[in-house]
Amino acid sequence: MPLTGKERRHLRALGHHLEPVVIVGSSGVTEGVIAAIEQALNDHELIKVKINEGPEGRHEGADAIAEATGSELAQLLGRTALFFKRRKQKSRFEDVLKGPHEPRPAPKPEEEKKPRRR
């Protein structure tokens, strides 16, 4: 199920402080890299991956990782990609799929303003 724009925005905010846990080297996206990313996704659900120069570009590499792991690409900023894959049980991100933010309360009616002194 693809993420909505609000869900992606919320995941980007949560992933801002994260450091890359997997680095894709000059060999590109290999089976070993995919296995490491799948393990990290099972452990953390939301991870950053650094995609260095390789046989494919950063866009193709990020798409290949998302397809191979069954995860969602939440952000691709420079050479750093943010991936999300929700666990079936004991997910820390239940609120992401329900809606990240509650609506703000309606503003209170303004009282009569006193004239400003100059």
pLDDT digits (tens, 9 = 90+) for 13-68: 999 999 999 999 988 899 999 999 999 999 998 999 999 988 889 999 999 999 99
Rounded to 5 degrees, what angle do the CA atoms 79, 66, 77 make?
Answer: 25
Assign residue 45 a region: left if phi > 0, alpha if psi is -120 to 50, beta otherwise?
Answer: left
pLDDT for the residue 110: 65
List, edge to edge, every strand of the sheet that includes 20-24.
20-24, 46-51, 80-84, 72-77
Structural domains of the chain ordered from first start: 5-85 (3.30.110.60)
pLDDT at 6 over 60: yes
pTM to 2 decimals?
A: 0.76
pLDDT for the residue 38: 94
pLDDT at 81 over 80: yes
